[in-house]
């Protein structure tokens, strides 16, 4: 009696990972690091809901404004030692500029690289443009807001400022609360005290900073620059952050001024 032919079983092709285990599409998803950043000293963990709602309203209005592309260049002739002795009783903090090259740049200020941000700003200047100009010459950013009678709000807690880059009006700067994506960036940089480069962040990250209404997907890598800043408080209506150069032979490449006028 003849044996019926065997029907071959269809096998699903399996892609093997370098370690020899099957690779699925789900395994390619980016695994976010655990956030281990410390709470800043003297910082209240609970924030008022009213201030949070105000920040969100201001941010929504701010993102409806166009991105400015100023020429953030400063004459370097004889100006290299302009602020050589600017540090007098200041406090050293960590400052990080980050964002996708064609989107608005973000500035995060931390007590140290392992702490949560004490200040997070979104500036109406493209990240790539600002970093490019920093490589050319000195950059001064002035953030101005209106001074009100009987002002009790700390100047860095103001929700929105007029932004000037080397004296040229460049839109606005707005303070916002850190998102989960912001904290992921800070966590990835927790061991970096100073430097610049790109981070392998997935294209869906940092959607809140897209600023261009492009659906949240970003192209390219996320660029960052981190350095030590000297925080100098002039009065309750003025505060300045000077970038500190490691060699100490010249003035800061970046100075950020907060002032109420």
Strand partners, 104: 126
Strand boundaries in 1-84, DSSP class E: none
∠49-51-56 over CA atoms, to 5°?
A: 95
Q: Is residue 210 part of a domain?
A: no
Q: Is residue 194 part of a domain?
A: yes
Q: Is residue 28 part of a domain?
A: no
∠111-117-120 over CA atoms, to 5°?
A: 125
pLDDT in tens, the chain (261 residues): 555 555 444 444 444 434 443 444 444 455 778 999 999 986 544 444 455 555 555 555 544 454 444 444 433 333 333 344 445 568 999 999 999 999 999 999 999 999 999 999 999 999 999 988 888 888 999 999 999 887 789 999 999 999 999 999 999 999 999 999 999 999 999 999 999 999 986 644 454 444 443 344 455 689 999 999 999 999 999 999 999 887 665 656 899 999 999
Q: Is residue 38 part of a domain?
A: no
Q: Is residue 25 part of a domain?
A: no
Residue 167 corresponds to which tokens in the numbers above? 């004296």
Q: Can you list the alpha helix ranges (DSSP code H) found in 124-190?
A: 127-134, 180-188
Q: Is residue 84 part of a domain?
A: no
Would you call 47 exposed, middle or buried from its count of C-beta atoms within 10 A (0-12, 13-18, 19+)? exposed
Q: Is residue 249 part of a domain?
A: yes
Closest listed residue to residue 35, CA positions, set 122, 115, 105, 108: 115
Where in the sequence is the domain holding 171, given as residue range(s)?
A: 91-200+220-260
CA distance 161 to 145: 5
What's the domain count of the chain? 1
Task: Give Cα separations from 82 to 4, 34, 78, 138, 249 (angstroms).
Answer: 93, 42, 8, 10, 11
Q: Is residue 64 part of a domain?
A: no
């Amino acid at each position: 009696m003849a044996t019926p032919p065997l029907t071959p079983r269809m096998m699903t092709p399996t892609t093997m990972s370098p370690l020899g285990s099957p690779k699925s599409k789900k395994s390619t998803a980016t695994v976010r690091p655990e956030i281990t950043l410390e709470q800043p000293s003297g910082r209240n963990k609970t924030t008022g809901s009213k201030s949070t709602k105000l920040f969100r309203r201001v941010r929504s209005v701010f993102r409806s404004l166009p991105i400015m592309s100023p020429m953030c260049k400063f004459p370097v002739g004889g100006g290299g030692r302009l602020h050589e002795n600017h540090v007098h009783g200041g406090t050293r903090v960590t400052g990080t500029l980050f964002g996708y090259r064609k989107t608005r740049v973000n500035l995060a200020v931390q007590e140290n690289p392992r702490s949560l941000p004490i200040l997070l700003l979104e500036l109406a200047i493209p990240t790539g443009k600002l970093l490019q100009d920093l490589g050319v010459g000195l950059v001064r950013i002035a953030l101005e807001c209106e001074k009100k009678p009987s002002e009790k709000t700390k100047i860095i807690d103001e929700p929105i400022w007029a932004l000037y880059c080397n004296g040229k009006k460049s839109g606005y700067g707005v303070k916002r609360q850190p998102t989960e994506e912001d904290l992921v960036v800070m966590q990835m940089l927790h061991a970096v005290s100073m430097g610049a480069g790109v981070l392998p962040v997935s294209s869906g990250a940092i959607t809140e900073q897209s600023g261009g209404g492009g659906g949240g997907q970003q192209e390219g890598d996320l660029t960052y620059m981190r350095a030590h800043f000297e925080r100098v408080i002039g009065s309750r209506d003025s505060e300045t952050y000077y970038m500190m150069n490691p060699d100490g032979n010249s003035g800061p490449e970046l100075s950020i001024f907060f002032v109420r006028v």
